[in-house]
């Protein structure tokens, strides 16, 4: 059984019965370099997952195209049979060909095959939540209809293979388009202390009771760097990345975090951020970090 620890409080995903602690875990870094192949330390990867769940994490984000197949297989090895209350969120919409590139997989047959790949490698009969991940030319969302892909997932949901549907790397108009087809329980986009193009969307989803899950919460390929962040961390006797995570939890109650790491030590540091208190003055200083910063400059 998972320890009943509240990591940043809890949130119920949409109209579902799935309630998760706000600090979760992202499994992408469990694969090898470049999110390709097995990790250098398979036992260490298993240990990180078991430590996370023992600490109260009950929201794990993964995808079968990580590796490919690697992270899902490690999740199964480490945690199956899964403890009651553990919510596993996976993604469709991408594939990893032998050249290690990231390519879209958006045809109905590709999405259907992706669901079955996730079920098989995770050892599940039904997937808790599947995010349709829009694979654009960069790391930011691009306008364009996603109705066909969401309709495929809604059909798979009606067949009992998916419980709930979410979206990833999408615009506000794409969220609205998807909601005309089916209920959406979460949106996963690039968002962090410095990159806040989704401020309006975060608040609108909060009014609807929909979770917003930042990917690249610590900056992604360009880690967050700021004198204000460093100063706030020093005053709190904390690591800058812990402060960045704590700011996200303070930003809105519908924000759920899934920072990833392959280190038990870093996992514990991330989880500690859920209990950090930020004063109004510190929050105001951190809020100012994004002012004057061009959109897309961090993790774009």
Would you name the residues annotated as active-site residues? 66
* 158 CB-near residues (< 8 Å, 6+ apart): none
In this structure, the dihedral spanned by the alpha carbons of residues 212, 19, 270 and 289, taken in order and rounded to 10 degrees, is: 30
- Distance between CA atoms of 200 and 191, rounded to whole angstroms? 12
CA distances from 117 to 45, 63, 68, 86, 90 (A): 21, 10, 10, 20, 11
- The whole-angstrom separation of Cα 190 and Cα 187 is 10
CA distances from 128 to 11, 98, 131, 220, 252 (A): 15, 29, 10, 26, 24
* DSSP class per residue in 4-33: ---SS-EEE-TTSS-EEESB-EE-GGGSSG
Q: Sort 239 into a burial class: Cβ within 10 Å, 0-12 / 13-18 / 19+.
A: middle
Give the N- to C-terminal CA distance of the chain in Å, as an integer. Answer: 39
3-class DSSP assignment, residue 141? coil
DSSP 215-241: ESTT-TTS----HHHHHHHHHHTS-HH
Q: Return d(Cα 264, Cα 270) in angstroms, integer.
A: 10
- Please tell me the distance from the alpha carbon of residue 277 to that of residue 264, in angstroms, as a whole number: 23
Neighbouring residues of 236: CB distance < 8 A, sequence distance ≥ 6? 243, 276, 278, 282
């Amino acid at each position: 059984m998972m320890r009943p620890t509240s990591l940043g409080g809890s949130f119920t995903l949409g109209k579902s019965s799935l309630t998760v602690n706000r600090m979760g875990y992202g499994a992408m870094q469990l694969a090898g370099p470049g999110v390709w192949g097995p990790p250098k330390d398979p036992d260490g990867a298993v240990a990180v997952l078991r430590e996370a769940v023992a600490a109260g994490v009950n929201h794990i984000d993964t995808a079968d195209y990580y590796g490919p197949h690697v992270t899902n297989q490690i999740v199964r090895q480490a945690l199956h049979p899964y403890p009651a209350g553990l919510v596993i969120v996976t993604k469709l919409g991408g594939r990893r060909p032998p050249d290690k590139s990231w390519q879209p997989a958006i045809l109905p047959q590709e999405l259907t095959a992706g669901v079955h790949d996730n079920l098989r490698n995770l050892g599940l009969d039904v997937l808790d939540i599947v995010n349709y991940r829009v694979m654009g030319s960069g790391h930011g969302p691009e306008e364009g209809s996603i109705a066909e892909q969401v309709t495929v997932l809604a059909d798979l949901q009606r067949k009992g293979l998916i419980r709930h549907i979410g979206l990833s790397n999408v615009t506000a108009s794409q969220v609205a388009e998807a909601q005309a087809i089916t209920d959406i329980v979460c949106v996963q986009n690039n968002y962090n202390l410095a990159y806040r193009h989704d401020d309006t969307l975060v608040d609108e989803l909060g009014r609807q009771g929909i979770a917003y899950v930042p990917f690249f919460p610590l900056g992604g390929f360009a880690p967050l760097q700021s004198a204000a962040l460093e100063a706030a961390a020093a005053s709190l006797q904390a690591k800058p990345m812990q402060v960045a995570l704590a700011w996200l939890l303070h930003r809105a109650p519908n924000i759920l975090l899934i920072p990833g790491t392959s280190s038990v030590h870093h996992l514990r540091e991330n989880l500690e951020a859920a209990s950090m208190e930020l004063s109004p003055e510190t929050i105001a200083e951190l809020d100012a970090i994004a002012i004057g910063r061009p959109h897309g400059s961090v993790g774009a």
